[in-house]
Structure 1
Amino acid sequence: MKELGDITYFLGISVVHSPAGYFLSQSKYALDILDKAGLTNCKPCAAPMSVKPSSIASPSVPFSQPSLYRSLVGALQYLTITRPDIAFAVNHACQAMQSPSEADFAAVKHLLRYLKGSLSHGLQFASGSLDLFAFSDSDWAGCVVDRRSTTGYCVFLGPNLISWSAKKQPTVSRSSTEAEYRALAQVAAELCWLQMLLSELKVPSCCPIIWCDNLSAISLSSNPVFHARSKHIAVDYHYIRERVAAKQVVVRHISSSDQLADLFTKPLPVSRFQFLLSKLLPSSPPLSLRGHDKNTVLLQEQETKDESAIAPSQQSRVHRLSASPAAPD
């Protein structure tokens, strides 16, 4: 066998090592997707989804190239390995795989324009504590088609983001508390699996904390008196109650303005999206001393051009938000 040194590139994922840790990104893979869609020179935008649907594309007109739509969205699914900021947008695009419309493809083009302006984003892994904690949220009846809710969560191991999800719930929730409770059960199961994995690796860990912004769901998870009033919630979602009673997980309240999982449940205004993104991901890779990398230099030059192309009004809103906390939803 031959020693090849530190890993730098594997299956489309670039790995940059620095004193701060490891930075994983898929910049070249994202550029290939843009080239495939013919949007290499498109104008970038500051968020992956628009809060208001496009008034130009019709949701009732089928897209003329469904195979192209499926190919692009399938490629975007692989991109979410290092890009949790596009998880909700990609999940939303996947729901139209069978029969995409012109409006669906317009949403995918908007997402690709966002990628054009954020090619350097990725995951940072640094040394730190090995305590597990998670953020859980839901968008109650957010889907206008079937009124199902969306579950969103992200899990951290110390300072590192290691797991996240944006997924429509399988059934309709009759209240926001029910939707939030279903999301709590999902993230509790994820934390349980991660705890077992850490135990197998002989890694000690404290009782994980779940941060939730719904007081009713928190009360339901810790106070059995409320259970008599919630029989419409499926029994299997009382899994979280058993975990709390066994002191295997702790559920605590967090304000809606600081809820990071909000990023995985619905389209957000540019200012709100950028505020949460700044807390979730680093915006650029660390400096590398491996010598001159032509692709890296080209990407950095492209990033500079893309940032200058974003509307000054959007940049000013992001600047104002970074100076003061965002208002609750």
Structure 2
Amino acid sequence: MLAVGARRGWKAGTTDIKGAFLNAPLLQRTKTKTERIILDPPKILSRAGIIPPYEKWLVTRALYGLDISPKSWAVFRNQQLNGRRFQSGGAWYTWQACRTDQNLWRILSEDGRLCGLVSIYVDDILGVMEDGVLQSCFSDLSQLWACSTPEYVAQGSVRFCGFDISEGSDDRRGFLLRQEAYIDEILERFESEHQGSLRTSKVPALRYDLPHDKKEMDPLQVKLAQKLIGELNWIGTRTRPDIIFAISKAAQCITRDAVLAVEAATQIFKFLKATKEEGLRYVANPDSFGKHQELRVPRKEALVEVFTDASHAPDAGRSQECVHVFAAGQLIGWSSNKQTMTSLSTAESELCAVLEGVAYGEGTKCVLEEILQVPVQAVIYCDNAATVALVTGSSNLWRTRGLKIKAAALQERLQCDIWQMYHLDGVYMTADLGTKPLTASRVDELRKLINMGGPTSCRPQASRLQATNMLKILVCLAMLSTVDGATMEQAMTLDDMATVVMLNFGQTALWMGLIAMVLSILFLWETAWFLAGYQRIKTRSKEDQSSLPSSSAPTSTGMGTTTATGTASNASTGMISSTPPGMMPTPSTGMSSAPTASSSAPMPPRKAPPVRPPRSVEPAGSEDYWTTRGGWHVRVHRQPRIQLFDPCDAARPFGLEELTGDRVTYVTFQNDGETQVIRDIFRYKVDAKRRLDRTWKGVTEFVIC
């Protein structure tokens, strides 16, 4: 809901239904027998003479406390809401229940356009809709049932099902999902019970070995470990994927070493204290190809991405796996747990994680397809080349034939284009966050990749606080430098101290000279870095200019991105990054095949095609034609088209074996004249006939081998 709502710029709000169960008639437990529930009224009513002493009450509504009441309310609620219509701004909107999730509802306009989503948990309601429609929807609900006053995210933070939702405060807008209030509550309780203030930590988990044998433990210590880890699990499974591995490891210690489990939980509390105001950010414009242009498929609304990773036998036993599921470019689901069976190799453990990720992705894909009512693309990323080779069928080693049977289900999905699988460099594998203890810098890198953070307004304050503390330190040093050693000795003597250890602080000039030396070293260090960076930029600029034609202005490119004039949509801008070193495209399947285990040397990386400037003048005429310019075969498009050009589908004066696979498309959109440059590899199925959002003319260039 929040991922789709943030991408569409919708607003969010909450309300709850008062006495929800009492609105619903009580259902029968079975269809064959009629059951009646009769209660004795409170005795105080008969003693006061309000009712006669023999009076009994017949229950006709879903009374709180009855096991059939939740179902009675759910059935009654769905009957009332499904198909209900309300008016907003002169237009009518309709409630439509989702079949994949009975607690999820779509708000549709008269022409069937999706205008909002509603999630109902018993009597709590979260709505994410267009601005005016949200207020009208809550107003209509208050006419149907007695509801609390609605709270809107635009007016401040709101709470739903135990977590806080606030509005993004930066230029990317969206929502921030966190549990700061709950974290403050459990931290305060933990510190009061342990009679001491916790220090902070930059990592949620430390490296430790799980005990293989069970120890005799104090039952109170076991209960304490269960209590602490249960509280942490509520946070980790809702808004904090960065602590889910630490929670999993701590939970594995409960029945083996409760003391170690409590220590592991304490470490997580230290990390939460340092990052309690942070959570998951759902933004309006997520990076199309990732923060470092590392992804192979551009992120869009109708896309499910799965990232999987596994740590093979970290404790000489079963492997630890982690799965991250992204929808509409945002992280919506994650898990970290030990695998159910012991794996014999790293490839097998990674394959088990991939199959688990496919199961999660299939469920997410069904829900997203029902919400959007369009086909949803599914992609899975794995950082193990051997596993990718197993699934794509490019590995023929006899030792892995047994694993091919296990991978058959995913292979069928790849062949039917239901799923796509790509190798991803381990540096950018977000699921690495849930498989092993990491350093503080690595944790920060992965948290940025999954778009975790806090309110942006807090960051400048932290910087000012650090600057203020540094200033205070310098002032204290300056004050100490003015105190003479003799003066301090006299002061100590006047206090009648028996033993005095004197520290001679020296003269003022010594301290001031020390401060000046430190500042000079810092200045020289920063200057050296600046000059080195300037020299690298200057050298790179000369190399880029030498590779460009002198008759045209160069196009600004870097890190595999494309530069387009105007404002292009997120779904169609950018480029697919070139094939990673050691990976070659497979024309028959469109997948990346990895080198087999028997390869003795890695394959050389593909040489990127030279960057050429976009064409500013459309070719005259009415028919498309081929031409050759230097090291390029060029297709000039005079006819408007919506798809990128695939040379496999057109007559050509050369063979496909002459092309490297690199394609550069210079696009001029017909409606507004906006230009765009798209660099990709046409041999990948996902790229070959990619549709843009508007008709265009222009030029497509292919690199000659």
Q: Could you say which TM-score interval applies, normalised by the shorter chain?
A: 0.7 to 0.9
Q: Is the 8 A contact 1:219 1:226 kept in 2?
A: no
Deviation at 1:282, TM superposition (A): 2.9
Corresponding residue SS for 1:201: helix
Spell out, residue by residue over 1:19-63, the C-alpha distance to the aligned partner (whole angstroms, 9 max, x if none). Answer: 611111101111222223226721100000113569xxxx95735
Residue 6 of structure 1: aligned partner:
152
C-alpha displacement at 1:284, in angstroms?
Answer: 1.0
Residue type of the partner of 1:6? Y
Is 1:121 paired with 2:291? no
Q: Tell me, in whole angstroms, the C-alpha distance in 1 between the residues paired with 2:257 and 2:313.
A: 22
Sort the Cα spacing of 1:143 and 1:246 in 2 relative to 1 into closer, same or farther, 3 A.
farther
Shift of 1:156: 1.4
1:21 equivalenced with 2:188 (yes/no): no
Could you tell me whether the CA contact under 8 Å between 2:314 and 2:320 is conserved in 1? Answer: yes
Distance in 2 separating the partners of 1:143 and 1:285: 38
* Structure with the higher helix share, 1 or 2: 1
Aligned to 2:229: 73
> For 2:232 and 2:395, how far apart are their aligned partners in 1?
45
- Could you list the per-position Cα deviations for residues 84-143 of structure 1 after superposition, in whole angstroms to 9, with x for gaps in the alignment? 000111111222333543222111111111111010111112234312212111101113
SS at match of 2:374: coil
Q: Does the C-alpha gap of structure 1 residues 53 and 176 become closer, same or farther in structure 2, counting only changes over 3 Å?
A: closer
Give structure 2 stretches of 5+ with no counterpart: 1-141, 286-299, 470-532, 534-705
Show the 5 A alignment for 1:155-166: 155-166=325-336
- In structure 2, the partner of 1:247 is 417
Note closer, same or farther for the CA distance 1:216–1:74 as it changes in structure 2 (3 Å cut). Answer: same
CA deviation after TM superposition for structure 1 residue 231, in Å? 4.3
Supply the distance in 1 between the matched residues of 2:365 and 2:162 (Cα, whole angstroms): 29
* Contact map agreement 1:185 1:238 (CA 8 A) in 2: no
Q: Which residue of 2 aligns with 1:136?
A: 308
After superposition, residues 144-159 of structure 1 pair within 5 angstroms as 144=316, 147-159=317-329
1:178 shift after superposition: 0.5
Partner of 1:41: 197
Inter-partner Cα distance in structure 2 for 1:227 and 1:53: 34
Could you give the per-residue CA deviations for residues 280-315 of structure 1, whole angstroms, max 9, x where no partner exists? 23321255xxxxxxxx9xxx99xx79xx9xxxxxxx
Greater relative contact order structure (CA < 8 Å, 6+ sep): 1
Superimposed CA distance per residue, residues 123-169 of structure 1 (whole angstroms, 9 cap, x where no aligned partner): 1122343122121111011134xx11111121212331111111110
Kept in 2: contact 1:126–1:159 (CA 8 A): no
CA distance in 2, matches of 1:180, 1:158: 25
> How far apart are residue 199 of structure 1 and its match?
2.0
Gaps in structure 1 of 5+ consecutive residues: 288-295, 309-322, 324-329
Provide the aligned C-alpha RMSD in A: 2.8
Identity across the alignment (%): 24
Output the CA distance in 2 between the equivalents of 1:84 and 1:108.
15
Residue identity matched to 2:175: Y
Task: Give distance in 2, aligned partners of 1:186 and 1:267.
Answer: 22
Contact persistence 1:16–1:286 (CA under 8 A) = no
- For residues 5 and 206 of structure 1, do their structure 2 counterparts lie closer, same or farther at Cα, with a shift above 3 Å needed? same
Distance 1:202 1:275, change over 3 A: closer
1:243-289, CA deviations, whole angstroms, 9 ceiling, x for partnerless residues? 212211111111111211110111112221222122223321255xx
Question: Does 2:281 align with 1:111?
Answer: no
2:377 match: secondary structure: coil
Which secondary structure state, in structure 1, belongs to the residue aligned with residue 152 of structure 2? coil
CA shift for structure 1 position 176: 0.5
Q: Which residue of 1 aligns with 2:217?
A: 62
Against the structure 1 CA distance between its residues 162 and 221, is the aligned structure 2 distance closer, same or farther, given a 3 Å change threshold?
A: same
Q: 1:110 to 1:53 in 2, by over 3 A?
A: farther
Deviation at 1:15, TM superposition (A): 0.9
The match for 2:454 is 284
* Alignment partner, residue 292 of structure 1: none
In the TM superposition, residue 214 of structure 1 has moved relative to its aligned partner by 0.8
Paired residue secondary structure (1:98): coil
Give the equivalent residue in structure 1 for 2:183: 30
Change (3 A) 1:98 1:234: farther
Q: State the one-letter code of the partner of 1:73.
A: I
**How many residues end up aligned between the 2 structures?**
288
Say if 1:220 and 1:227, in contact at 8 Å, map to a contact too. no
C-alpha displacement at 1:192, in angstroms? 1.3
Work out which of the two has the higher radius of gyration on C-alpha atoms and give 1 or 2.
2
Letter in 1 for 2:239: T
Match of 1:313 in 2: none
Offset of residue 225 of structure 1: 6.0
Contact in 1 for aligned 2:280/2:453 (Cα 8 Å): no
Q: 1:23 to 1:203 in 2, by over 3 A?
A: farther
Q: Retained in 1: the 8 A contact 2:304–2:379?
A: yes
Contact 1:85 1:277 in 2 (8 A): yes
Go from structure 1 to structure 2 and tell me whether the alpha carbon gap of 1:21 and 1:206 turns closer, same or farther (over 3 Å shift): same
* Pairwise CA distance, 1:224: 7.0
- TM-score, length-scaled by structure 2: 0.38
* Aligned counterparts of 1:100 and 1:72: Cα–Cα separation in 2: 14
The secondary structure found in structure 2 opposite 1:36 is: helix
| Structure ranking higher in strand proportion | 2
Specify the alignment match of 1:172 in structure 2: 342
SS of structure 2 residue aligned to 1:75: helix
Distance 1:254 1:24 in 2: 28
